[in-house]
Structures are given as structure tokens and as C-alpha cells.
Amino acid sequence: MKSKKLISLILTVVTVLSVFSFSVSAKTRSGDFGNGVKWELDNNGTLTVSGTGETPVSERYFLTDDEAWRTYYFAVNEAATSIVVSEGITKISDNFFSMCKRATSVTLPESLVEIGSGAFNGCYDLDYVHIPKGVTKIAPDAFRGLENITIDEANPVYTTDEQGAIYNKDKTILYSAPCAVFAKDFVIPSTVTTIGEAAFYDSSSKSITIPESVTKIEDYAFSGIGVSTLHIPKSVTYLGVGALIGSHYMQSITIDSDNPMFTADENAVFDE
């Protein structure tokens, strides 16, 4: 009888210690950046970022001397399967979630105003992102590779389409086409007059069709693209710095013979 009681007591102690250990483990997967922003990764893989203001920036990731950032990086790297940004956060800074390669969902707050460069770069498992109405600034490469983006209809600055590209409200400016990273073919709508800075940066689309409505192609709009050929219509009268810097996949750039401003010769573009 004493033996049974002793075994029972041991099992109870082990159970309590296991629960306690699990609880401590879960709680230690959290941190404070010291700028009013905190994070917590629970045992189900949900990463919650809370507080007020902007998330911190670290361009060196785990190589940084910032211990708070290093702790965050190593804790969530490929471990976070869902992301929740709480009310109070106003900006997701550059590259902040780029290490969350296994995240399949993200929830953004109404307080959010800005999404920085590369904020979700590498998050290729995300099913979709819904951008709230308060967001008024999105970096061109914030969602590189994401095919399903929705934007609140009440957003005063941005809208999207079935291709998942991001435009101004009347779709005259194409700000970015994150979906074009993996899309086979991308057709720019005939409403577009301006292709924004780095809009197709590092795109792997098989083809990109530029309509006659386009008059302006901003800096680095097609930098690093994977298409083999690119045709510039006669309507284009402005080419920004590095607008047509392609990649080793690019075999030819053609410009409509009736274009009054530019001509092309062996992939070099010249003013008329």
C-alpha cells in the first residue's frame, strides 16, 4: 500500500513539474524590444506583436549586437505559423517578419499606417493578407511573392485586383505586383499610366504585358525580372533610373518603332 502511494505521489509530482516546465517554456518565448513593442510566441506557433508605435529595425538580423532582436529572431525563425499584430502598432518596419517562413496567416490591426520594405519577404506560405483601411504607405517589396492580397474598400490610398497587384484608388498607378514573383503571365491593366518604383522587382513572371496607356516607368520598375523579352510601347515617354535593368534571363528589350523618345539596340536603350 505504501509502495502504491509512493508511486502515485511520484507521478503527481512529475505531472506538476511537466506542466510547470511547459508553462515556463511557453512564457520564455517572449521578449520586449524596449521601445514600447513586445512579442510572444505561444506553443501553437502563434506570434503576437503588441504595444504601441513602430516595430524595431535591424538590417543585420541575427548578426546584430542587439540582444533583444537576436532573441526574437532565433525564437520565431521558421517557428511562427501564424502572425497577429495587435491594435496600437502603427508601423511594421523593414524585414520585421521576413524570417517567418512557415507562417500561413497574418492579422493586421486598424491602427496600422505603414508597412516597410521586405516586411513579409520570404513568407511564401501566407495564404493571404488583408490590408486595413488605415494603411497609407506600403513599400513596393513588402509582400514579395504573395498572390492573394485584399484591401479594405474604405482605404483612401490603395486598391487591388484579382491578380493581387497594388494600385492607387483609380488604378492609374501600379505600385507593386508581389504576385508577379510566381505568376506565369502578368497583364498590366489598361487603366495604368504609371508603373511605380521597383513595382516588378525580382519578378519571375514568364511574361509581362505593358499596355499603350502607360507613359511613365519609375526607377528600377523592372529591375531583376525573369522575363526573356520586354516590349515598351510607343506611349512611354519617361524611363526612371535603372527602370529596365533586367537579369541574366533577359534576352531582349524592344521599343515600339513609333516611340518618340526612345529606341533600343542590343538591349541598350537610348534617347532619340
How confident is the model over 77-94, as pLDDT tens digits? 879 999 999 999 999 999
The string of pLDDT tens digits covering residues 222-264 is 988 888 888 999 999 999 999 988 666 777 888 999 999 988 7
The residue length of the chain stands at 272
Quote the cell numbers at residue 225. 525580372
Mean pLDDT of 21-46: 76
Please tell me the distance from the alpha carbon of residue 272 to that of residue 255, in angstroms, as a whole number: 12
- Looking at residue 35, its amino acid is N
pLDDT digit string (tens) for 173-218? Answer: 999 988 766 667 889 999 999 999 999 988 888 889 999 999 999 9
**In this predicted structure, what is the pLDDT of residue 19?**
38
Amino acid identity, position 106: V
Tens digit of pLDDT for each residue in 86-127?
999 999 999 999 888 899 999 999 999 999 998 998 888 888
Q: Kindly state the DSSP code that residue 86 receives in the 8-state scheme.
A: P
- DSSP code of 180? G
What own/partner pairs with CB < 8 Å and gap ≥ 24 does 58-62 have?
58/95, 59/94, 59/95, 61/95, 61/99
Tell whether the model's pLDDT for residue 166 goes beyond 60. yes
Full-prediction pTM beyond 0.85?
no
State the amino acid at position 66 in one-letter form.
Answer: D
**Confidence label for 164 from pLDDT (cuts 50, 70 and 90):** confident
Q: What is the pLDDT of residue 247?
A: 64
Residue 25 — φ and ψ, nearest 5°? -60, -45
pLDDT at 256: 93
Average pLDDT over residues 126-131: 91
Q: How many CB atoms lie within 10 A of CB 147?
A: 17
Cα–Cα distance for residue pair 159/165, rounded to 1 Å: 8
Q: Is the pLDDT of residue 148 over 70?
A: yes
Q: How far apart are CA 141 and CA 39, in angstroms?
A: 24
179 sits in the region (left: phi over 0; alpha: psi -120 to 50; else beta) called alpha
- pLDDT at site 227: 84
The vertex-133 CA angle with 114 and 91, nearest 5°, equals: 20
Q: What is the pLDDT of residue 213?
A: 98
Give the pLDDT confidence score for residue 228 in this predicted structure. 82
pLDDT at 267: 55
CA distance to 18, 32, 73, per residue, from 40 (Å): 21, 9, 12
Reference 35, options 77, 110, 96, 103; nearest CA is 96
* Position 5 pLDDT exceeds 70: no
Rounded to the nearest 5°, which phi and psi values hold at 128? -165, 165
